[in-house]
Chain A
Amino acid sequence: MLKKIFKLMTLTVVFGYILVMVMHTHPFGKPSYTDMDDYFIQNGQEETGSNNIVTSIVFDYRGMDTLGEASVLFAAASGVALAFLEVRNGKRK
């Protein structure tokens, strides 16, 4: 009984906290600081020559991130290939 009450109290506190946090976030589409966004929107097209600002950020300004993503995919495919080729060749049962 005490345990149940304790669980209920914990749940109430956590949900109340989340509710307060959600109510205190700024409205959707109105971020507090927009300096970086404005820079990309104003200069991204001229600097990279690409109409698609999202692509210019993903492949140019933040290319390191995309390189990491491609490496992750490569590692995943290599891992699958390694595991299944070993199973097929009978090295591991």
Chain B
Amino acid sequence: MEKENEMSIVARITAAVVLIPVLIFGLYIVIHGHLTPGGGFPGGAVMATGVVMFLVVFGNLKGINDQLFILLESIGLIGFALLAFLGLPKGFFNNFLANTNGIFGMSVGFGTNPGYLNTGGVIPLMNMAVGLEVFAALSLIVFIMFKR
């Protein structure tokens, strides 16, 4: 009863079990980019790997077409550039959220600390934008080549 392009039941079950942890690990790398090694590029690549695994094992992504990936990619890049332009009164790529005690604005002193998520100014937001863009771009490349 296997459709074409679909792998065996063992591979399908394994991929379904592993997919969610892979995506969550990618999200973790993206969101903790300003605290631990990692960031938008590696995290997006990890998430794209999950999508590629799903695509290879199941043969297609039901209900998802390439327009969605193109949209996400564009949103990521535009968001990144927009965040850069938002700091323009003081300068291009000015970190206008850091040390304001607002969102992502907790101040951090020099030296070691436990690593607070609410720090970094615009850096976490930029990490998220870049992560979205990398995820969508790499997924789009594989998806569009796979569907041919």
Across-interface contacts of A71 in B (CB, < 8 A): 77
Are A46 and B141 neighbours in the complex by a CB distance under 8 Å?
Answer: no
Which residue among A46, A54, A60, A76 has the maximum number of chain B CB atoms within 10 Å of its CB? Answer: A60
Are B137 and A76 neighbours in the complex by a CB distance under 8 Å?
Answer: yes
Q: How large is the interface on A (under 10, 10 to 19, 20 to 34, 35 or more residues)?
A: 20 to 34
Q: How many A-B residue pairs have CB under 8 A?
A: 123
Known: A47-B95, A48-B120, A54-B37. A70 touches B144 (CB 8 A): no
Are A48 and B121 neighbours in the complex by a CB distance under 8 Å?
Answer: yes
Which residue among B104, B106, B134 has the maximum number of chain A CB atoms within 10 Å of its CB? Answer: B134
Are A74 and B73 neighbours in the complex by a CB distance under 8 Å?
Answer: yes
Across-interface contacts of B140 in A (CB, < 8 A): 77, 80-81
A62 to chain B, nearest CB (A): 8
A84 to chain B, nearest CB (A): 5
Flag the segment in B3-11, B56-64, B125-133 that touches A: B125-133
Closest 5 CB pairs of A and B: A63-B93, A77-B137, A50-B34, A50-B120, A49-B119
Residues on A close to B: CB < 8 A? 42, 45-52, 54-56, 58-60, 63-64, 66-67, 69-71, 73-74, 76-77, 80-81, 84-85, 87-88
